[in-house]
Amino acid sequence: MNYHLHQIEFISQDSTWLDRYWQDPSARLTYLLRHAFSHSFWEFYAQEISDSISRQELLMRSKWNRTSDRLYLSQIWTTEAAAQNYQDRIQMQARLRSSLEKQGFQISETNQHITHDATQEYIREILQLPHIFQFLDQRFGIPLPNLAGDPLKRKIVTPYQNRQQARDHEILFASLFLPPVPKKEILKKIKAVPASAWMWDDYRQVDMLPLMTSSGHPTREAVNSQRSTASYRWTEHAPSELINYFDQHIWDWMETQSRVMILKTKPGARNQEHIDCSPADFHETQLKLRIVLQGQTDSLYFITHQKPLFSPKTEKPYLIDGSWPHGMLNNSPEDKYTICVGAPWTYSNLYPPFEAAIYKDKTLLPQDYERYFDQKYRRHSS
Ligand SMILES: [Fe+2]
């Protein structure tokens, strides 16, 4: 019996890509292609694959690599016509190619007839290499070991998860699988901004530099002028690397632009314990996005009626619930620099996959939490 083997080879200019591929959903092709296809396309695509499997046309689908510079996507079909029909239905090949080529990929495809015995040999070889099997028909008589399943599968059916999957109203902390932030380049430019441009925030006891405001001016008035209808603009202090990163990886799921500040905490300094929203907004979803450019993420803690709960360590951007009382103690010998994205953004309809998440246990909220609200609170939040 002969089958049809369709194999696509992906080579990336980014030498870290294939290493990240096996544990980081943001390195997955689906994720890299998220701009080229809509959310509903990915649902259709997942359905087409699953239908092809139920019709017993698609007999094997796996990704694997032999060398550290290229990934293969292999599919074995019962006939060449079945493979072709599938491609005609999903019609993604041209857009897939151009989108990935723009991101520094080289792609090539091969099609060949393959015998039953050669298929078995081919599959056994893949099993010796780093691999993910999405499906393998039992006719080949090769049982998949437990580790052959895709550990990220639940997270990457689509490149995003929706509010319900993310349980966003229950998040205390969630780090996001997003590509690495060019922290060094951004920091270099931030450190070159004159000290006079920074402003002292008495409530949080921290130095702040506005990077995006409702008017694009880096002034205290602009920072305080929060309008949900405002079109937000980067200030002169926003490094181009940061702007590009947000364009590529943040605004697409955040949907609305928002105030962006960078906070600088001196070594040994403590950010006053506080709540980031008004008493009126306390029961709404109040997420904030954070990126620590220099320093530790585990210096941030959430206040409970028991011991404080410290944030996990992560290099990734992360979400926190700004309505839960929190503080930060910079116990490192260096200034801590944190990018903060807050109001008017408070939640999204779609989120990137989570790396680690801590969900809220409301029974841990301190009884006297109201004392952490900004005493001067009127209309503004951060
Ligand atoms: Fe805060």
Q: Which residue has the higher pLDDT, 281 or 114?
A: 114
157 pLDDT higher than 80: no
CA of 117 to the centre of ligand 1 (A): 62
309 alpha carbon – ligand 1 mean position (Å)? 15
Q: What is the mean pLDDT of residues 293-298?
A: 93
Q: How confident is the model at residue 156 (pLDDT cuts 50, 70, 90)?
A: very low
Mean pLDDT of 102-124: 95
pLDDT of residue 229: 67
For residue 131, the CA-to-ligand 1 centroid distance in Å is 42
Among 209, 293, 188, residue whose Cα is nearest residue 259: 209
pLDDT of residue 285: 92
Give 276 Cα–ligand 1 centroid separation in angstroms.
Answer: 5
Residue 322 C-alpha to ligand 1 middle, in angstroms? 6
Rounded CA separation 206/342 (Å):
16
Tokens at 12, concatenated? 């990336």
Q: Give distance in angstroms: CA of 229 to centre of ligand 1.
A: 23
Report which of residues 192 and 34 the model is more confident about. 192
Q: How far is the CA of 77 from the centre of ligand 1 (A)?
A: 54
Distance of CA 315 to the CA centre of its chain: 12
pLDDT in tens, 63-102: 999 998 999 999 999 999 999 999 999 888 888 899 999 9
Q: Can you tell me the distance from the alpha carbon of 283 to that of 23, in angstroms, rounded to the nearest whole number?
A: 35
Going across the sheet that includes 70-77, the strands are 105-115, 2-12, 70-77, 58-64, 131-136
Distance 325 CA to ligand 1 centre (A): 8
Token representation of residue 78: 């019962």
Give pLDDT tens digits for 180-232: 899 999 999 999 999 999 999 887 788 999 999 999 999 988 888 877 667 89
16 C-alpha vs ligand 1 centroid, how far in Å? 33
Dist. CA 161–CA 149, nearest whole Å: 20
Q: At what angle do helices 183-191 and 240-249 cross, to 10 degrees?
A: 140
CA of 343 from ligand 1 middle (Å) equals 11
Give me the DSSP letters along 283-294: TS--EEEEEEEE
135: CB partners within 8 A, 6+ apart? 49, 53, 58, 59, 60, 61
- Identify the pLDDT of residue 105: 96
Question: Distance from the CA of 277 to the center of ligand 1, in angstroms?
Answer: 9
Q: Is the pLDDT assigned to residue 54 strictly greater than 70?
A: yes
Alpha carbon of 338 to ligand 1 centroid (Å): 11
Q: Provide the β-strand partners of residue 287.
A: 321
Mean pLDDT computed over every residue of the chain: 89
How far apart are the CA of 200 and the centre of ligand 1, in A?
15
Percent of the chain with pLDDT over 70: 94
Cα 116 from chain centroid (whole Å): 41
- How far is ligand 1, taken at its centre, from the CA of residue 300, in Å? 9
3-state secondary structure of 254: helix
Proportion of the chain above pLDDT 90, given as a percent: 62
| Distance from Cα 340 to the centre of ligand 1, integer Å | 9
Tokens 């809220």 identify what position?
360
pLDDT score recorded for residue 101? 94
CA of 188 to the centre of ligand 1 (A): 24
Confidence (pLDDT) at 37: 85
- ∠ CA 174-178-180, rounded to 5°: 120
By mean pLDDT, which of 136-145, 289-298, 307-316, 339-348 is the weakest?
Answer: 136-145
Residue 348 in contact with residue 168, Cβ under 8 Å? yes
What is the predicted pLDDT for the residue at 228? 67
Alpha carbon of 298 to ligand 1 centroid (Å): 14
Tens of pLDDT, residues 331-379:
899 999 999 998 889 999 989 989 899 999 999 999 999 999 987 764 4
247 C-alpha vs ligand 1 centroid, how far in Å? 24
Task: Give the model's pLDDT for residue 13.
Answer: 92
Span 253-287, pLDDT tens digits: 998 889 999 999 999 998 889 998 889 888 899 99
Q: CA 351 to CA 118: how far, in whole Å?
A: 42
Mean pLDDT of 327-331: 92
Query: 54 CA distance to ligand 1 centroid (A)?
Result: 50
**Tens of pLDDT, residues 115-127:** 999 999 999 999 9
Closest among 7, 342, 9, 34 to 161, alpha carbons compared:
34
Place of tokens 């210096």: 299
Q: What is the mean pLDDT of residues 309-329?
A: 95
How many whole angstroms separate alpha carbon 131 and alpha carbon 54? Answer: 23
Instruction: Report pLDDT for 47.
Output: 84
